Structure 1
Amino acid sequence: TGERFSARLIQRGEQKLEIGSEDEAEALVKELKKQSLRVLSVNRRERRKNPSPPFTTSTLQQEAARRLGFTVKKTMAVAQQLYEGLEVGKEGRVGLITYMRTDSIRVSEMARSEALSYITASFGEEYKGSGTFASRRRGKVQDAHEGIRPTQVSRTPKDLSPYLSRDQLRLYTLIWERFLASQMAPAVYDSVSVEILAGELRLRATGSEVKFPGHTAVYEESQEGNEEEKAQVLPSLEEGETLRFLKVSPEQHFTQPPAMYTEASLVKALEEKEIGRPSTYAPTVETILKRGYVVREQKKLKPTELGFIVTDLLSEYFPEIIDEEFTAEMEDKLDQVAEGQAEWQQVVGEFYPAFATQLQVAKERMAQVHVADEVSDKVCELCGRNMVIKQGRFGKFLACPGFPECRNTKPIREGTGVKCPECGGEILVKTSRHGRRFYGCENYPECNFVTWDRPIEKRCPECGALMVRKETKRRPPYFACSNKECRHKEPSPRGKDKRKKRVGS
């Protein structure tokens, strides 16, 4: 047909291929180039993708973090504003969403009927869905409130845009689209899987084409750290058809350590392990930040030395309490008390005697922990003392040990060794007021050069501009030119001993 598509090398004969080195990958490239290609099999099937249910507190916090970059605290604050009501033109003050602390995905019949009428009028009868979902939560669901939805689906984001702030509109749009999509029909795809023989080697190409968009015409749920590659559309192929290589590309991948939690993934883990309730997810995240157990670093929650110490001590002296199963069971018992199915005296009576014993042992034996401040060589210009390194919610900073008499503080200067392309000063690592790391010139405010990506000393070989290190969820780190008009990229020479290879046509 003359059409191009990509395929992935999967096995030799009946054995799955494990490519452990660059030499092995290059040998396979040479072998593939010598082979003729023949289509072994073509499998076609129809695939349906159901919509996601309306938001719960947990899923709203996760999706707002992924799509909008909101912290869980910000999500709940903005949702509270939408729930309590805002001035909307002639309507006056109106509550725009239902209660935002819920783990239910239930929707009232009135709201569902209104949504179906809107879908029929805006998209057509065939876009109407069943709106039924199985609960994703394994334990007991608190069903006093519906799932999070707009109070009136006819109040579209476009209609409300003149009356809402930017953050209010972005969160309302997310809630409105998710709810409307939840009441729509599944998306339908034509999926094709093609297996190709190249001598003893076997490759696989997969493709997918939208047959009916359904709910995806409005909204698709995002994924964190597990993004699927964009589906390709395959040409019409038949068994026995011969093909030819256009290019063989060895691609480099790395064995990654377990990822640190983001706020979104931490909330997801709390929900999955049944720790806490919708009303406690945001306060839990804020508490560990406020107490200095973790710090925000490039959207990740990084444990601090204090966090490790507290965890070790609590695990040593309160092992039964620092336990996921205990927490989930206690949450369930407290629910029973709230619903009148258990007496609080009985629940406390079963728990407290053993806890009191552990508490007494901890008081007697637990050493007083003091995380000593690291003394720096920087002298406080106000009082002459050597400043110390403190841990704040956005990382480390310098502070005068003479507090409260002397309240002098300074950011820690962390250099990159890279010269500013605009003035020649050194580019420093800095932290924004929201905790996000960026890179700026030491001569600010005289020089305003900034970048979100870490600069490297090497200059672009094509245009001479600054090169930066890029990181994405779908591929290993790489170097790229900072000049938006130049597309030069090159691999980052990292982790060769841990690298795995894949070969595709």
Structure 2
Amino acid sequence: MAKKTAKSVKAKMPKAAAEEAPESAPAEKEKAAADSAVATPVRKRSASRKAAVAAGSPSGGRLIVVESPAKAKTIEKYLEGKYEVVSTMGHVRDLPKDRFGIDIKRNFKPYWRVIPARAKLLKELRDRAAHMSEVLIATDPDREGEAIGYHVAEEIKSANIKRVEFHEITASAVRESLERPRQINQEKVDSQFARRILDRIVGYRLSPLLWKSVRSGLSAGRVQSVAVRLVCDREQKIRNFVPETYFRILLTLAPQGRPDESFVAEIFKIEGKRRRVKTREEADQIVGKSKAGPLTVQDFLETEREHHPAPPMVTSAFQQAAVNRLGMTARHAMVVAQQLYEGMNLGKFGRRGLITYHRTDSVRLAASAVSAARALIRENFGDAYLPTKPNFYKNKRAAQDAHEAIRPTDVALTPERISEYVNEEQLQVYRMIWEVFVACQMKSAVYDVRTAYVGVSDRTDFQFVARGESLRFDGHLKLTGIPKKEGYVPQMKKGDVLDLKEHKVEEKQTQPLPRFTEATLVRELEHRGIGRPSTYASILSTIVERGYVQKQAKELSPTELGEITNKLLIEHFPLVLDIDFTAGLEEKLDGVEEGAADWKKLLADFYKQFSKLYETAQESLKDKKKEITKPPIDVFCQSCGRPMVMRWSRYGKFLACSGYPECHSVRDIDESGGVFKVLDIEISPTPCPLCGSQVMSRRGPYGRFWACMTFPKCKYTRPITLGVACPKGCSGEVVRRRTKRGRFFYGCSSYPSCDFTSWLEPVAQKCPVCGGGFLVKSKAKGKNLIKCPNKECTHSVEVAVTAPA
């Protein structure tokens, strides 16, 4: 990895994070572009270029426009100066943030605005395009990339604009794509516009209703709200589940005269039917009859089972595997995949993209890629592992098949060959993609399966079964690893007498459906037709970041805020929360892209139904907040005696005086362990210097702080410091703050005059090695550490885990 410069590190520090805005639709592309590399989006002109621009004469050059600097750098390597490649750094236009931005009466006309941070960049692009013989838009090959390309074309207003797609970023793929330019696909653009406008309509109309009904700052989304509903519905099923007791009966048996060949059989059928043993008495009766014997083999089957390789990776399968196998979040896995797609410097192998485009729902593979995989399999594993014909996989019915499956761009670049040029996460993701791709063209593994049905020779009222598998041929498992198999059954034949060596009765209870994880929620979204490959990761991160869903030990469960919001939306906007309707809308949007549906008619049909619900909800939700915030029993304001009511902030619930705005008193609560507890007010030993009143701890959007008890009459506040002097040597101390996205960081109490920030928590201890003024808490390889922040100092001590403040 390239060494980070001081400038690049500073760019990632929390000062900027503290000013984060709520996520908007283009955030994923913006983030991917920003994370991909630290590079100049539009390079400075040479003297000759400046002269050409000043003279107003075209240079005759050719310009390629992409989204990210890393992608630009990789492509430019292949073109040897024949093209100039520039980056837009993500989206360049969007709907305005300060107003609705859609004229419903003028056939849903959107009012696109240049993103302020992109205005200067677009001006430079316009200047360059004016002096180019050809401008090629090479944004990502999906709907969002097509829309970015459309916006760029609209802004630079050049007559010689064409569109090219890079499904993989390799020298051959780039050159081939440049030979096949096309016009911007307006149907694909219309489909993306329709999605954006639908999301704006739902978000702009529903969110203010939630502000009035629950709390300010909430948001509703066309797809995110349905995802929250899935999580809430699953939680309700878990709560409603009534466990049933049943009993497992296990017999340890051996063929008569062969005591060393024991195996385990489990109760299978009772009275000829498969059912559970529901009482201890019934279990004891079956055990008693089994002991009385004689037990014999009533039937013995020998079959084979093929274990087929997994199909080539699509986005949903990739995200599930990254979550389950690598422990990543779906969103982070997509960021790493974007880096591999856009390319990196691989030393002696040159700069290149390592995988094909990673937002896809197709299992299709290029014939050349399959041939390369088969050659590698023959060379490394032998003909025994190579099928006679290439393995072919069918797409799901709704797959759009716009791109290939996710695969390595060059299968000869094994994970081992690139390991010294990529970081650990990139290597893990690449290895997973590489192995799945190669394995999908290998032979299936073959297991020998033995199944024995056991019972008392003259009885038919119950039967046991034992199954065992042994690997005959490892096939693709030779590459991906052989899973551990349990169960052994010796060679037997029908009628063989068995000795009962041991019996066991286990009391069990039926279990509810498990909570969703990120992996299983992605699978459910795909199965239900909610969202598309490019949106799964952002859906998951959004519902967690906005406080509707919480993640604990990888399990997703709704917060109380999420359940209240979900209930309100189902009651008043059943159309928006209807899972089948949302899936149907996704199909219609796909139809727009395919030219089979008109996007404006789609919007008009939706809005006709939605607007009726909206008008009704405006009236019915007027007094909903009073119902939701009814006061808990026996909790009263310590300042004025009025009852306290429940309120929500984006960081959790708290109690507020029902006399607001006359009284601003608030109390923190703790509901851990299912017990409701009102926390004591923390009083500072130092009184208010302005009015002499007590000073209490309050919670704000960026963390806790001290404030005068008489607020708002007296507006005195000061930060709660950690007792650590600012490392920059100013008069301030280190304080704990929170970004708008909820992540904690540490800054100087003298901000903005001092800009010190750190993600690591400082500790008020001098470094015993270098004498530095403070240490920091850190974590590495699962260990909690106290270490010196000085990179040249090696001091680091493992410490016990402590609860966060």
Does the alignment reach a TM-score above 0.5? yes
Residue in 1 aligned with 2:751? none
1:171-250 aligned at under 5 Å gives the runs 171-198=429-456, 200=459, 201-219=462-480, 230-250=485-505
Distance 1:156 1:104, change over 3 A: same
605, 622, 637: which one aligns with 1:350: 605
- Partner-residue secondary structure (3-state), 2:489: coil
148, 159, 175: which one aligns with 2:417: 159
Contact 2:592 2:599 survives alignment (8 Å)? yes
Instruction: Write the letter of the residue equivalent to 1:448.
Output: A
Distance 1:306 1:34, change over 3 A: same
Instruction: Write the letter of the residue equivalent to 2:581.
Output: F
Distance 1:209 1:239, change over 3 A: same
Contact 2:575 2:610 survives alignment (8 Å)? no
Residue in 2 aligned with 1:378? 680
Root mean square deviation of aligned Cα: 3.3
- Runs of at least 5 residues in structure 2 that lack an aligned partner in the other structure: 1-257, 630-645, 648-653, 656-667, 669-677, 685-693, 721-735, 739-776, 785-796
Q: Using the TM superposition, give the Cα deviation of residue 133 of structure 1 relative to its aligned residue in structure 2, in angstroms.
A: 1.2
Whole-Å Cα distance in 2 between the matches of residues 398 and 235 of structure 1?
A: 65
Q: Using the TM superposition, give the Cα deviation of residue 398 of structure 1 relative to its aligned residue in structure 2, in angstroms.
A: 9.1
Whole-Å Cα distance in 1 between the matches of residues 798 and 416 of structure 2?
A: 41
Distance 1:96 1:446, change over 3 A: closer
- Partner-residue secondary structure (3-state), 1:278: coil
Residue in 2 aligned with 1:309? 564
Residue in 2 aligned with 1:55? 313
- Residue deviations 1:312-371 (CA, integer Å, cap 9, x gap): 111111111211121112112222222333222221122212212222222232246465
Contact 2:359 2:534 survives alignment (8 Å)? yes
If each structure's helix is expressed as a fraction of its own residues, which one has the higher value?
Answer: 2
Instruction: Write the letter of the residue equivalent to 1:101.
Output: R
Residue in 2 aligned with 1:461? none
Whole-Å Cα distance in 1 between the matches of residues 486 and 465 of structure 2?
A: 14
Residue in 2 aligned with 1:124? 382
Instruction: Write the letter of the residue equivalent to 1:290.
Output: E
Q: Which has the higher contact order (CA 8 A, sep 6+)?
A: 1
Whole-Å Cα distance in 2 between the matches of residues 378 and 120 of structure 1?
A: 71
Residue in 2 aligned with 1:85? 343
Instruction: Write the letter of the residue equivalent to 1:273.
Output: R
Whole-Å Cα distance in 2 between the matches of residues 121 and 446 of structure 1?
A: 48
Whole-Å Cα distance in 1 between the matches of residues 375 and 559 of structure 2?
A: 52
Instruction: Write the letter of the residue equivalent to 1:358.
Output: L
Distance 1:221 1:328, change over 3 A: farther
Distance 1:366 1:17, change over 3 A: closer
Whole-Å Cα distance in 2 between the matches of residues 72 and 177 of structure 1?
A: 19
TM-score (norm 1): 0.74
User: 378-387 or 351-360, which moves further after superposition?
Assistant: 378-387
Percent identity over the alignment is 36
Distance 1:15 1:103, change over 3 A: closer
Contact 2:329 2:518 survives alignment (8 Å)? yes
Whole-Å Cα distance in 1 between the matches of residues 696 and 284 of structure 2?
A: 60
Q: Using the TM superposition, give the Cα deviation of residue 282 of structure 1 relative to its aligned residue in structure 2, in angstroms.
A: 0.5
Aligned length: 411
- Partner-residue secondary structure (3-state), 1:133: coil
Residue in 2 aligned with 1:42? 300
Instruction: Write the letter of the residue equivalent to 2:337.
Output: A
Whole-Å Cα distance in 1 between the matches of residues 416 and 433 of structure 2?
A: 14
Instruction: Write the letter of the residue equivalent to 2:696.
Output: R
- Residue deviations 1:254-288 (CA, integer Å, cap 9, x gap): 22122211100100000001111101000100110
Whole-Å Cα distance in 2 between the matches of residues 401 and 295 of structure 1?
A: 29
User: 342-351 or 269-278, which moves further after superposition?
Assistant: 342-351
Contact 1:196 1:202 survives alignment (8 Å)? yes
Alignment pair present for 1:169 and 2:427: yes
Instruction: Write the letter of the residue equivalent to 1:245.
Output: L
Instruction: Write the letter of the residue equivalent to 1:143.
Output: D
Contact 2:695 2:706 survives alignment (8 Å)? no
Distance 1:180 1:433, change over 3 A: farther
Q: Using the TM superposition, give the Cα deviation of residue 154 of structure 1 relative to its aligned residue in structure 2, in angstroms.
A: 0.9
Q: Using the TM superposition, give the Cα deviation of residue 174 of structure 1 relative to its aligned residue in structure 2, in angstroms.
A: 0.8
Max radius of gyration: which structure?
A: 2
Whole-Å Cα distance in 2 between the matches of residues 164 and 323 of structure 1?
A: 44
- Residue deviations 1:25-77 (CA, integer Å, cap 9, x gap): 34543443332321111111122222211111100111111111111111111
- Partner-residue secondary structure (3-state), 1:59: helix
Residue in 1 aligned with 2:527? 272
